[in-house]
Chains A and B, each alone.
Chain A
Amino acid sequence: MTLKREKTQIVIQIIMTLFAVIIIYPMIMILLMSFKSDAEIVTSPLTIPSEFVFANYAEAWDSMNYLRVLGNSTFLTVCTVAIGTMIYSMAGYAVVRAKRGKIFFSCVFYMFLAGLVIPPQVTLVPLVVWLKALHLSNTFQGLIGVMIAGGTATGVFLIRNFISTIPQALEEAAVIDGCSPIGVFFRIIFPLLKPIVVTLVIMNSINVWNDFMHPLLLLQGAAARTVPLAVYFFKGEFTTQWNVLFAGLTLSIIPLLVVYFILQRHIMGGLMSGAVKS
């Protein structure tokens, strides 16, 4: 019995290790290939490079306009996530705790939730027209608005559910001390929201940073490219030069992977609780 168990244990160990290697291999593959010379990538693409060619990275860096692109993505993500988290929390608080006009606030809440079943494609055609009318087409302000609005359903839903678990006695005490509802929110509730805010920030950062469809259609012009967009147009230039292309891909995933390896517990935990709660 124990011998059989040990055998199963070893088999599981081998299968899992192999599986992890297979999953991670494509990333190691692009890393190795990104250092190969133009000649070596044709003759022996999959071996460890005989010499490491850093020129691929220099070329990729320049033609992607790497720092600019990284700056654009960071700006977009930070603004969307910071403003978004703040206003999701405020709205989530309002829909749970409003004392009068409950019907009005629950209508607002269900309108926010409609975003769960409306696919983002539905808004695309009107957005192109609408942003033009508001003089927001091809601007970051417009895209930030679209991304915040797109995350509304999940954001408000998670916040609302979290706030309804907080006992009201806390707030009532503050009200007796002369605090207005807005004051109660900022002084008492918002600090308590930390766990769910961390989850939201992680989920939204990854979504916004990796989003491709919205920048592609709503943010035209080379100067405004985000990371996924830059990679997309980069492929067009280097279709046959896998080494330079892979240097570009590596550059584009490094920032997020570095953050992942540092904060992996929080990221896994955040994504998991986000999925479980919504």
Chain B
Amino acid sequence: MERQISMNPKRDLRKRRLNFENFYAYLIMALPLLIVYLIFFFIPSISSFFISFTNYNGISLDFDMVGLKNYQTMLQDQVFRASFTNTFVFTIVVSLLQNLLSLLTALGLNARIRMRGAIRTMIFAPVLINAVVTAYIWTYIFDTNGLINTLLRAVGLGGLAQTWLGNPDYALGCVIVAHVWRFIGYSALIYLANLQSISSDVLEAAEIDGAVGWKRFRYVVFPLLAPATTINIITSIAGTFKVFDIIFAMTEGGPGNATETIATYIVRNMNENLYGYAAAISIALFFIILVINVFVYGFLKKRETQV
């Protein structure tokens, strides 16, 4: 790799033409990733736009341009509407619940407690478990003869027992619980890191000024946690809006369309060979994510600087 010819590098850098030392060498270094990225991500993304205007079925290459028909279908499609609503509900509830619980967890872990290391290890462990395993563990917990119903019967509340995942009113809630279980540790870790970076001087000063307990948290600690809050909300929104695996493994979008999300609906249409329509939905998903990201990120950044 090393160039044998020794030349005067200073004089070389002053030259305006593109030579190996100042352009092509860097191009060669960027090239492997550039090629992989173009082939496996960027060109597919662009062609998704194109496919969304066709009636391509994934099998034969004689497809027709259908213009905006897929997008028109989408606007009238009841299942798409349901998946849209479910995705929103899922994202909002998960983001709030996960952040609230992980913030409390981080505050607890930051207190002077015993066995802190062991407790942290236990709370963080589910982060490593894949979504399919998480889905099956919780499928059992919510099963007709599963953990929740067994416990309910044991305390004499057998009347409340039911097939949780089979009930359209509860199915989405069940998936939310499973998803939040998996990621509490992750968000808590980020809050904890931020908490530990708050200097004790600030806290002592607050105490002298009379800010203790809830007041100290609300007016001193919580504002200082703004960076962690931004990270956690952005990651949980980004992660949940395209949620696929846990829902697909736990309910496959059912019962009915009670847990169908935009991402599971894309795969469902692919499995039914409606590739053009699936592409159109994925493009819609992209624009929704883009708008939400810009909006939420702008809001949270503004909030950070106000503090």
Contacts and interface: CB of A to CB of B under 8 A. Distances in A.
B125 A45 contact: no
A176 B9 contact: yes
Contacts of A15: 108
A16 B301 CA distance: 32
Main secondary structure of the interface of A (DSSP, over half): helix
Contact of A26 (B18, B181, B267): B181
A100 B44 CA distance: 30
B226 interface: no
Contacts of B22: 98-100
Given A94-B27, A119-B286, A152-B41, A272 B190 contact: yes
Contacts of B227: 276
Given A121-B285, A127-B44, A100 B30 contact: no
Main secondary structure of the interface of B (DSSP, over half): helix
A216 B290 CA distance: 26
A82 interface: no
Interface residues of A, number: 99
A275 interface: yes
Interface in A199-232: 206, 209-210, 212-213, 216-217, 227-229, 231-232
Contacts of A100: 18, 22-23
Contact of A149 (B1, B41, B125, B286): B41
Interface in A144-174: 145-146, 148-150, 152, 156
A19 B185 CA distance: 11
Interface residues of B, number: 97
B41 A19 contact: no
A24 B48 contact: no
A150 B45 CA distance: 11
Nearest to A184: B25
Nearest to B108: A16
Contacts of A130: 39, 43-44, 47
A181 interface: yes
B26 A272 contact: no
B21 interface: yes
Contacts of A264: 121, 124
A228 B119 contact: no
A272 B150 CA distance: 38
A54 interface: no
A249 B286 contact: no
B140 interface: yes
A271 B127 contact: yes
Interface in A93-142: 93-95, 97-101, 105, 108, 111-112, 114-115, 117-130, 134, 142
Contacts of A217: 267, 270
A126 B28 CA distance: 28
A23 B126 contact: yes
A149 B36 contact: yes
Contacts of A42: 145
Interface string A244-278: 01100100110011001100100110011001100
Interface string B253-294: 000000000110011001000010011001101100110010
B25 A182 contact: yes
A118 B286 contact: yes
A123 B45 contact: yes
A107 B115 CA distance: 50
A191 interface: no
B3 interface: yes
A20 B3 CA distance: 58
19 contacts: A23-B125, A26-B126, A27-B137, A87-B32, A97-B26, A98-B22, A122-B48, A125-B282, A126-B51, A126-B279, A130-B44, A150-B40, A152-B37, A178-B6, A182-B1, A185-B29, A228-B133, A246-B140, A264-B121
Given A20-B123, A26-B126, A99-B22, 18 more contacts: A16-B109, A27-B125, A27-B129, A29-B147, A91-B33, A94-B27, A99-B13, A108-B30, A114-B45, A119-B242, A119-B289, A123-B41, A130-B39, A130-B43, A130-B47, A181-B26, A257-B128, A276-B193
